[in-house]
Structure 1
Amino acid sequence: MGVFDKFSLQFRKPEGKLGRFAGFLMKKIGSEKNEWTISLLDIKPDDNILEMGFGPGVGLDMVSKVVQGGKVVGIDYSEVMLEQARKNNKKSIQEGKVELKLADVNNLPDFDQSFDKVYAVNSIMFWDNPVQTLGAVRKYMKRDGILAITVQPFTKGATEDTAKELGEDYMETLEQAGYSDIKVELKSMKPVPAVCVIGVNK
């Protein structure tokens, strides 16, 4: 396996020095995707929010600035990302607003609250069984809770059509997992547009 391939794997589960650098890149290039995804969720101050695969914690930091009376929870199975997210959300964690859990989305932990909004940004492609995971998280979501899954394809030769095709694929994934009122949003970005698939837990 070449160096580039080894580094690419760091975006699945960042570890060691390469993993810390991958986290730096995620923070640098992921802000726009996170901000867009969060805007689509229409988060309210009293909402409870769950991020699945929080990476360096960029999205959690943005959400915690909106949420006042609710709770912001994130899960990720990388200890390196947990360390970075703790640093990037130190104040909110100390205030009890943000809670981070070292956990695998393929084996969800128990939560002390039910969630109004759940989201994931560029992580679903690494899940073993997305339908199973998205179905499992529904039991922790409130009725009419909203799920948003955002992906920006980075495969070689990816285009806007690639993003649209991913949107169609993940629409089917959400439908199989039991979500309703599913819709797709597309955002023009460089080098390739991002797609967000949104569903409701009826």
Structure 2
Amino acid sequence: MSFFENTRKPVGLGGKIMVAMMNVGHSAVARWGLQFLELAPDAKVLDCGCGGGANMKRLLKKCPQGIVKGIDYSPVSVEKSKKVNEAAIAEGRCAVLRASVAELPFKSEQFDAVTAFETVYFWPDLPQCFREVYLVLKPAGTFLICNESNGDSDKDEKWTEIIGGMTIYKDIELKAYLEQAGFYEVQIHKKKSWLCITARK
């Protein structure tokens, strides 16, 4: 397994290094994407594919009286996210679970917002995953997708060759999948090769 496979599902020591790198390496694109997400101070948010937990920490700051939950199917990511958000977990404002976005372990209409940073590339059966996100969102809730690669560059192909199971989607593809799942008001933002999409339930 190549080191870069750890972007998809971090395992072992390589995975631990990767999630630490993600927390730093993805911070600029995540901060840019978060400006398109409006949250009430007491919002309930779910971060899907929470990786190293840095974005959960940012979300907790955005909703200081709120609750942020994270899921990841990598035990390494879950462990790192728990460490990074230890204080908020102790306060009862945060929880990290090992789970797949294809089968979310939550009741319907739980969250005001669901986020996905640098992770939809690896979701199996995207339409099914988007339906799962739709179910757990409250009516009028927001789904935010934030990707470093928007599918418009030749360089994107290099990554899909290095990392097995990675698909880089263009904005029109994601918009179509979101609308099929029932989302509306799909808004697309681009900066350099970055892509951020928000959609409402």
* Bucket of the pairwise TM-score, normalised by the shorter protein: 0.7 to 0.9
Structure 1 counterpart of 2:79: 83
Structure 1 counterpart of 2:196: 196
User: Among 6, 9, 14, which residue is 2:10 paired with?
Assistant: 14
Write out aligned runs for 1:30-179 (5 A): 30-111=26-107, 114-153=110-149, 157-158=155-156, 166-179=170-183
Secondary structure of 1:56's aligned partner: coil
Name which structure has the greater RCO, CA cutoff 8 Å, separation 6+.
Answer: 2
Q: Structure 1 segments of 4 or more deviating over 6 A?
A: none
Does 2:187 match 1:183? Answer: yes
By how many angstroms is 1:110 displaced?
Answer: 2.1
Q: Which amino acid aligns with 2:5?
A: L
Which string of whole-angstrom CA distances, capped at 9 and with x for unpartnered residues, describes residues 152-171 of structure 1?
A: 12986249xxxx97112111
By how many angstroms is 1:113 displaced?
Answer: 6.9
Q: In structure 2, list runs of 5 or more residues that go unmatched.
A: 158-167
Would the aligned equivalents of 1:57 and 1:85 in 2 still touch at CA under 8 Å?
A: yes
RMSD (Å), alpha carbons:
2.1
By how many angstroms is 1:69 displaced?
Answer: 2.5
Q: What is the TM-score of this pair, normalised by structure 1?
A: 0.87
Residues in 2 aligned to 1:70 and 1:152: alpha-carbon distance in whole angstroms: 27
Residues in 1 aligned to 2:7 and 2:154: alpha-carbon distance in whole angstroms: 16
Number of aligned residue pairs: 189
